[in-house]
Amino acid sequence: MNLWFRLLSIVLGSFVRRRLTFEEQSILLFRVMPHDLDLNVHMNNARYLALMDLGRIDFLLRSGLWGRLRKLGSHVVVGGLLVRFRRPVAPFQAITLTTECVYADEKWVYFSHYMKSADSLVCLTVARTAFIRDGIVLPPHEVIPEEVSSRSAPDWITQWSDLDGSFSGQLA
């Protein structure tokens, strides 16, 4: 239930917070609450990902992309995640989540998420997302600004794609 309140705060905040370009970052502040904890009394690993969902939602809303997707009858889905947990986050600790759009290819849009507490990196995640309409993937260049599509692919994205191709064969 608490995520609904956080989501409502993000949605309502998008009406009053400054608009973002695709070159900018969404920055959100959270505090780890008791319902965010696991049995080890630190933030649950699933909660990191849920908060990063909120970071993407904030970016999509404030960049105007959410509205464009709605007009197209499309929505965003996550097709893969790379997660690197660095440090545990304790109860009531303040955290800052930074979200940015780093790259887009012919199918995927890549968002990075950096979560920090007291200027220490606690988690780094990259989400590979796609725009879906009627069960079909929309090419990102039809939805997002051209400057994102024209960026050079970081080496790690190429490596991730290669690894994903190898890994997919294991699931057949």
The two structure tokens encoding residue 134: 């009627």
For residue 96, give Cα distances in angstroms to 4, 162, 164. 19, 32, 30
Q: 171 falls in which pLDDT band (50, 70, 90)?
A: low
d(CA 66, CA 55): 13
d(CA 116, CA 120): 5
Count Cβ atoms below 10 Å from residue 150 Cβ, excluding itself. 9
Q: Tell me what pLDDT residue 160 has.
A: 87
The two structure tokens encoding residue 105: 């290819």
Q: Is the pLDDT of residue 172 over 60?
A: no
Taking all residues of the chain, what is their mean pLDDT, rounded to a whole number? Answer: 92
Q: Tell me what pLDDT residue 148 has.
A: 74
Predicted TM-score of the model (pTM): 0.92
Q: How many residues does the chain have?
A: 172
What digits encode the pLDDT tens for the residues 9-60?
999 999 999 999 999 999 999 999 999 999 999 999 999 999 999 999 999 9
